[in-house]
């Protein structure tokens, strides 16, 4: 569900070395259905020709010419009808409700199909409910790509810190604002900085989503859901972005040996609650959150292990496609069915 930058890159992985790794592990993976927003949709139980699908979509065409069987008119119908074992939900994030992605995920799980997603919406807004549904159906709901692309954040805690209690976290989670702040530090004007980041293909189509802190807030809520067991809505947390931040303040901070970054913070509270906030913070240069250049840094605070930091150099489509691949490998290895998360 979704055949944009991430979906198409993932389909390339299947056609190359990563597909060979799956085959050598004994798995034959084919894509039997694709839904898009404006480029049609297609089901073919024998497997769709992925290179042709990419060419069609990249040329602005429609996938519908490849469809076999009775016509299918909307995404939910495709999810309900596609002959499949796993659904990848990689449609765009809607930061205020997480829909329609949550409906797509629920429809797949209700059918007894495992779901892998890089979409933060279902994780931030509905993780506990979707995971409970997955458990009832005996399938997996995996979402490693939802925060920090392919960097193993959720798996780090689940697999490497089993039983440890995460008491809170601090993170720089939005690459666009980090890169804009780095440009401002170097004396580039705010508008020029945004243009440079957009030219690099990092910023969201709607820059307000990054600049006003929505992206960081949704990621913080996704992390809080998975690591703190807390259900917090992104629109309910104190949120300030970097829009309107005086570039002089950024330059002055740098002169004093400090750095301004957009930081998401969370603290576990009793009875499944957590306190979250997102806003610009002035950090000393030796704070790991101020490390540059980097697209993301997350410091997990734990009860016994102390602080554990994970650092992302340059994130993006490749890493996110890899996150889907790693979740698929985990599912195929039986993880999703035997040991659903949560």
Closest listed residue to residue 290, CA positions, set 248, 251, 252, 262: 262
Minimum gap (Å) between residue 42 Cβ and ligand NAP? 12
Minimum gap (Å) between residue 329 Cβ and ligand NAP? 18
Q: What number of chain residues touch ligand NAP (CB under 6 A)?
A: 25
Segment interacting with ligand NAP, rule: CB under 6 A, options 35-43, 151-159, 178-186, 272-280 = 35-43
For 285, the token pair is 């240069």
Is residue 38 part of the contact set for ligand NAP (CB under 6 A)? Answer: yes
The pair phi, psi for residue 212, each rounded to 5°, is -90, 5
Question: Residue with the closest Cβ to ligand NAP?
Answer: 4
Residue in this structure with the two tokens 């024998």, named with its chain if needed: 46
Is residue 2 part of the contact set for ligand NAP (CB under 6 A)? Answer: yes
By beta-carbon proximity to ligand NAP, the closer residue of 239 and 259 is 239
By beta-carbon proximity to ligand NAP, the closer residue of 275 and 318 is 318
Closest listed residue to residue 220, CA positions, set 197, 243, 239, 207: 239
The pair phi, psi for residue 262, each rounded to 5°, is -85, 115
Per-residue DSSP letter, 203: S
Is residue 142 part of the contact set for ligand NAP (CB under 6 A)? Answer: no
For 35, the token pair is 């839904």
Is residue 1 part of the contact set for ligand NAP (CB under 6 A)? Answer: yes
Segment interacting with ligand NAP, rule: CB under 6 A, options 30-38, 124-132, 227-235, 303-311 = 30-38
219 counts as catalytic: yes
Segment interacting with ligand NAP, rule: CB under 6 A, options 15-23, 132-140, 227-235, 313-321 = 313-321
Minimum gap (Å) between residue 194 Cβ and ligand NAP? 18
Segment interacting with ligand NAP, rule: CB under 6 A, options 19-27, 29-37, 237-245, 298-306 = 29-37
Q: Are 180 and 197 in contact (CB under 8 A)?
A: yes
What does the alpha-carbon distance between residue 268 and residue 260 come to, in Å, rounded to a whole number?
25
- CA distances to 57, 86, 242, 250, 281 from 287, rounded to whole Å, are 44, 41, 20, 16, 11
For 225, the token pair is 């859901």
Binding mask 45-84 for ligand NAP (x = CB under 6 A): ------------------------------x---------
What does the alpha-carbon distance between residue 10 and residue 8 come to, in Å, rounded to a whole number?
5
By beta-carbon proximity to ligand NAP, the closer residue of 3 and 125 is 3
Among 14, 79, 86, 118, binds ligand NAP (CB under 6 A): 118
Residues 6+ apart with CB under 8 A from 133: 106, 109, 110, 141
For 136, the token pair is 């009832």
Among 54, 92, 152, 277, binds ligand NAP (CB under 6 A): 92
Is residue 3 part of the contact set for ligand NAP (CB under 6 A)? Answer: yes
Minimum gap (Å) between residue 205 Cβ and ligand NAP? 7
Among the listed residues 219, 261, 281, 341, the single catalytic one is 219
| 3-class secondary structure per residue, 41-73 | EEECCCCCCHHHHHHHHHCCCCHHHHCCCCCCC
Segment interacting with ligand NAP, rule: CB under 6 A, options 1-9, 229-237, 238-246, 304-312 = 1-9
Is residue 211 part of the contact set for ligand NAP (CB under 6 A)? Answer: no
CB neighbours (10 Å) of residue 334?
A: 10
The pair phi, psi for residue 33, each rounded to 5°, is -160, 145
Minimum gap (Å) between residue 81 Cβ and ligand NAP? 14
* CA neighbours closer than 13 Å in the CB half-sphere of residue 264: 31
> Which residues carry out catalysis?
219
List contacts with ligand NAP (CB under 6 A).
1-7, 35-39, 75, 90-93, 100, 118-119, 145, 149, 316-317, 320
């Amino acid at each position: 569900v979704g055949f944009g930058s991430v979906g198409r890159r993932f389909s390339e992985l299947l056609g190359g070395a990563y597909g060979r790794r799956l085959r050598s592990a004994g798995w034959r993976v084919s894509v039997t259905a694709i839904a898009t927003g404006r480029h049609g949709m297609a089901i073919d139980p024998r497997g769709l020709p992925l290179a042709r699908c990419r060419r069609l979509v990249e040329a602005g065409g429609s996938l519908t010419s490849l469809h076999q069987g009775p016509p299918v008119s909307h995404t939910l119908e495709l999810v309900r009808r596609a002959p499949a074992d796993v659904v990848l939900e990689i449609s765009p994030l809607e930061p205020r409700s997480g829909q329609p992605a949550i409906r797509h995920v629920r429809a797949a799980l209700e059918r007894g199909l495992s779901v892998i997603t890089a979409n933060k919406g279902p994780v931030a807004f509905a993780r506990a409910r979707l995971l409970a549904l997955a458990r009832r159906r005996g399938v997996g709901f995996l979402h490693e790509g939802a925060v920090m692309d392919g960097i193993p954040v959720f798996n780090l805690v689940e697999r490497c810190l089993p039983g440890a209690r995460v008491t809170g976290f601090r993170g720089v989670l939005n690459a666009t604002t980090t890169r804009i702040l780095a440009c401002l530090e170097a004396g580039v004007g705010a508008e020029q900085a945004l243009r440079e980041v957009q030219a690099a293909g990092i910023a969201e189509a709607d820059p307000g989503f990054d600049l006003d802190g929505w992206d960081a807030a949704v990621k913080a809520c996704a992390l809080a859901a998975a690591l703190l067991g807390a259900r917090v809505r992104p629109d309910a947390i104190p949120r300030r972005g970097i829009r309107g931040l005086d570039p002089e303040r950024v330059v002055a901070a740098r002169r004093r040996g400090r750095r301004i970054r957009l930081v998401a913070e969370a603290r576990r509270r009793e009875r499944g609650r957590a306190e979250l906030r997102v806003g610009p913070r002035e950090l000393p240069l030796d704070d790991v959150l101020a490390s540059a250049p980097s697209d993301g840094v997350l410091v997990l605070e734990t009860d016994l292990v102390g602080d554990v930091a994970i650092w992302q150099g340059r994130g993006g489509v490749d890493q996110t496609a890899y996150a889907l691949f790693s979740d698929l490998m985990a599912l195929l290895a039986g993880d999703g069915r035997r040991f659903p998360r949560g």
